[in-house]
A and B are shown apart, each in its own frame.
Chain A
Amino acid sequence: MTAVLSVHDLGVSFGGIHAVNGVSFSAEPNAITTVIGPNGAGKSTLFNLISGLIRPSNGRVMLRGMDRTGAKPHLMQRAGLGRSFQITNLFFELTVLENLRLAAQRLEPSARLWLPVRRSHRALARVDALIERFGLASKVGELAGALSHGEQRRLEIAVALAAEPSILLLDEPTQGMSHADTADTAKLIRDLAKDVTILLIEHDIGVVMDISHHIVVMHQGKKIAEGAPAVVRADPAVQAAYFGHA
């Protein structure tokens, strides 16, 4: 099987500091690949490089076999990439329905861009499915800004998933969540992986070890290890950099 996403020797430096330095890895279809590392390891910068928010200074980003290095975010989205943000990034003054509808409207043929939104049948059907799956039925008509933190985090994932991406980048989806919500979200992400390839940044090590198929460990902008959870856990370099010595 070919990787949905692969990055080769990817790097960027800001004023001489290598925020991400020569990182290579692949995300296999329908697997959960998780990027871990201490704060400042360059995980979010890596996501920004992949999703087109920052232009890499070296290396390549391959999405579904095509070289997409340096493509702008909206072109990466059209190429099949969906992403969520560490800091909730929704349309807070719009309803849950409208957040999802906006995110799903790319599914419509482009001619439908000029018909009233109520005629966007495909997008609206997708919205219904997402509302169901993410348990937001009781909140559809509410403004995204009025939701609880946990609900907003869930909506954040749903919005990223709405346009049926090939790969979903989730940046700390459980950030700030309660224990119960974290467990629910972990289960949700595992379910999602049946339909979509997932690249995850996660701090909750329990969640990481539980749901990841493949783990990439970053430290000071570099990849220091990768492999299956058990392999990574046993890696002495990882223990030194990330878990610390017991």
Chain B
Amino acid sequence: MADMSSRSQKPVDRLGLAMRASHVLVAIFVVLGLICAAIGAANQDTFFLRLATEALIFAGLALSVDILLGYTGLLSLGQALYFGMGAYISALVLKEVPSFWLAMGAVLVASFVVSLLAGMVANRVRGVYFALVTFGLAQVAARAVYNTRAIGASDGLIGIPIVPINLGFGTFMSSSPAPFFIFTLAFIVILYLISAYILDTPFGRILVALRANERRVPFLGYSTWNARLAAYVLAGVVAALSGALYPMLRGFVSPELLFFATSGNAVITVVTGGVGTLAGALYGSVILTVLKSVVGSMTEHHLIVIGLLFMAVVIFLPKGLMGLVRPRIERMLSGGDR
């Protein structure tokens, strides 16, 4: 029993270790992504690069779900609200002024304000009621968009212009598949790194404490209300910034982006990839997007396959794909430490 303890002079911070293991998995993800980009570019491919870019964009949405579900213990069934909002605001800005940075700035500000306000409503309740309120808020927004002629109603907005993306060291067009894929990869990885950094600070650990035992948190000197609201806003902004890339990739936005299917898919993505790992959101999104596309090309009943897969994961891999591999990496990392 006491064999390990005597050895560990500096005790291992399990949460920090788990996060470092996630970093390793994301590094592998980036390498795989770059290899795919190279292969795609060499073959003059458009379809698969664009599909992969879409997977990355939805990975950002899944990331936001994992911040809430995996770290703070809040199940949001309405993250599509922010994802869709980001897509629409980005589309509206780009139609007026084709400026990438202006679109991103507008999405950042708008999502911050809206998630703060909506968070004040949603945070009044806990558990299943929180899930229902987030679901309801997204449904209200989706219906409003669906019925508003000025922003395209059920047709959505089409004809979003191709935008030049100026990164300081160079400019490329959102229509060129390989550069835009690599850019999106970098963008999502930055969102991941920001989230991971925040979750590894004392503030982030309060979120983890909320998930573990909310009742004790006030006695650590922290307002649970403020902490949950901050997590909700962070997740809202991450989802919206990811969504902002969608019209640049597709050239259109539609109300479906705000529908429950989008929110639900993000939850399925996180559960498949591994709740509370962040890296799982990235892998899960690629798996789900590819699966949907491949199975979808064979049968129109691809949702049956997704549903069965989801059930299989919940039953056989309750900790998702990352639950299978991350503990091994943790062991390797802690072994190298001592």
Contact = CB atoms under 8 A, between A and B. Distances in A.
A97 B9 CA distance: 13
Nearest to B197: A116
A115 B201 contact: yes
Interface string A26-56: 0000000000000000000000000110000
Question: At the interface, is chain A mostly helix, strand, loop or mixed?
Answer: helix
Contacts of B212: 91-94
A138 B6 contact: yes
Question: At the interface, is chain B mostly helix, strand, loop or mixed?
Answer: helix
A108 B223 contact: no
A182 interface: no
Nearest to B224: A74
A118 B5 contact: no
Interface string A89-104: 1111111011001110
B12 A72 contact: no
A140 interface: yes
B205 A141 contact: no
A82 B202 contact: no
Contact of A102 (B2, B6, B12, B206): B206
Interface string A124-142: 0000000000000111110
A228 interface: no
B208 A94 contact: yes
Given A91-B209, A98-B14, A106-B221, A138 B202 contact: no
Contacts of A93: 212
A105 interface: yes
B15 interface: yes
- A103, A105, A160: residue with the most chain B Cβ atoms closer than 10 Å: A105
A120 B206 CA distance: 14
Nearest to A77: B221
Nearest to A120: B202
Contacts of B208: 94, 98
B4 interface: yes
A82 B12 contact: no
Nearest to A74: B218
A14 interface: no
A159 to B, nearest CB: 8
Interface in B200-253: 200-203, 205-206, 208-209, 212-213, 215-224
B202 A91 contact: no
Contacts of A118: 13, 16
Nearest to A72: B218
Contacts of A94: 14-15, 208-209, 212
Contacts of B202: 105, 108, 112-113, 115, 117, 120, 123
B226 to A, nearest CB: 9
A98 B218 contact: no
A93 B201 CA distance: 19
Nearest to B3: A138
B14 A95 contact: yes
A95 to B, nearest CB: 5
Contacts of A123: 202
Contacts of B205: 98, 101-102, 105, 117
Contact of B220 (A72, A77, A112, A141): A77
Nearest to B15: A98
Contacts of A105: 202, 205, 220
Contact of B11 (A52, A108, A141): A141
Contacts of B220: 74, 77, 102-103, 105-106, 163
B327 to A, nearest CB: 14
A214 interface: no
Given A77-B218, A83-B219, A105-B202, A117 B16 contact: yes
A92 B206 CA distance: 14
A168 B204 CA distance: 26
Contact of B218 (A73, A108, A140): A73
A92 B213 contact: yes
Contact of A97 (B6, B11, B200, B222): B11
B221 A78 contact: yes
A200 B325 CA distance: 47
A137 B5 CA distance: 7
Given A94-B212, A108-B202, 15 more contacts: A52-B218, A72-B218, A72-B223, A77-B220, A91-B209, A95-B14, A97-B13, A97-B14, A116-B197, A117-B202, A118-B13, A138-B1, A141-B5, A141-B12, A163-B220
Interface of A: 51-52, 72-74, 77-78, 82-83, 89-95, 97-98, 101-103, 105-106, 108, 112-118, 120, 123, 137-141, 159-160, 163
22 contacts: A52-B218, A74-B219, A89-B215, A89-B216, A90-B213, A91-B212, A95-B13, A98-B14, A98-B208, A102-B205, A102-B209, A106-B220, A106-B221, A112-B202, A113-B203, A114-B203, A116-B16, A117-B13, A117-B205, A139-B5, A140-B8, A141-B4
Interface of B: 1-2, 4-6, 8, 11-16, 197-198, 200-203, 205-206, 208-209, 212-213, 215-224
